[in-house]
Amino acid sequence: MIKKTLCFSNPVYLSKKNDQLLIKYPDSDEAEKKAETINTVPVEDIGIIILENPQITITHSLLSSLINNNAAVVTCDTSRMPNGLFLPLDSNSLQSERFKNQIEASLPLKKQLWQQTISAKIRNQAANLREKGVKINNMILWGKKVRSGDPDNYEGRAAAYYWKNIFSMIPEFIRDRNGEPPNNLLNYGYAVLRSVVARGLVASGLI
């Protein structure tokens, strides 16, 4: 059976009763609201729990039950970026195997994975430019020519071409994290996207 991944982004009180995860939201003390604000999930069905909000409370009893059922708990910082991973000491063989495989990955494999990442990035940039009617023959070629480790820096070439054309209405635009607007808006968008990707990676057992 495929285990569930639960992500909590709002304040919530998490506890356990009769081998069920109890999810209780704030202001649910009134009897008439309880049916609407308390949900349950069988602990045995849970594979990952992601705690995003700093106002989440979780009981030790629930943590112990999650660990006994081979589940993982991911905590996040105030930027909602994963900063901790709570795993069973001796039972999560799948997660341990994933960690081991990543740590022992060879340098050639890492370079090949980087090659695939850069190639995909360039193809996605080209797709965005195509929507704007920009010529992308060079981008398509660069995406295909990326070698292991990208020693020819096609990523940099593609980035320069991409930013020049994606913000063609701002001729002086230079992509710089600390630069003038709209760099600040791009930084915010990247932070949100990075958080989503990082949570997905951690939940999948990647480090």
pTM score of the predicted model: 0.65
Domain boundaries, the chain: 4-92, 107-203
| Per-residue pLDDT, 31 | 46
Two tokens, residue 78: 């105030």
* Cβ-proximal residues to 156 (8 Å cutoff; 6+ apart), any chain: none
> Cα dist. 36→15, 39, 60 in Å?
17, 8, 25
Structure tokens at 19: 């081998």
The kind and range of the H/E element at 83 are strand 82-86
- Assign 33 to helix, strand or coil: helix
**What CATH architecture does domain 4-92 belong to?**
Ribosomal Protein L15; Chain: K; domain 2 (3.100)
| Tens digit of pLDDT at every position of the chain (207 positions) | 788 889 999 999 999 999 999 999 886 555 445 445 679 999 999 988 999 999 999 999 999 999 888 888 889 888 888 888 887 766 556 777 888 888 899 999 999 999 999 999 999 999 999 999 999 999 999 999 999 999 999 999 999 999 999 999 998 999 998 999 999 999 888 887 887 787 777 767 777
At 63, list the tokens.
Answer: 């943590």
**Pairing, β 13-17 against β 72-76:** unpaired
Query: Hey, how many other C-beta atoms are within 10 angstroms of the C-beta on 193?
Result: 10
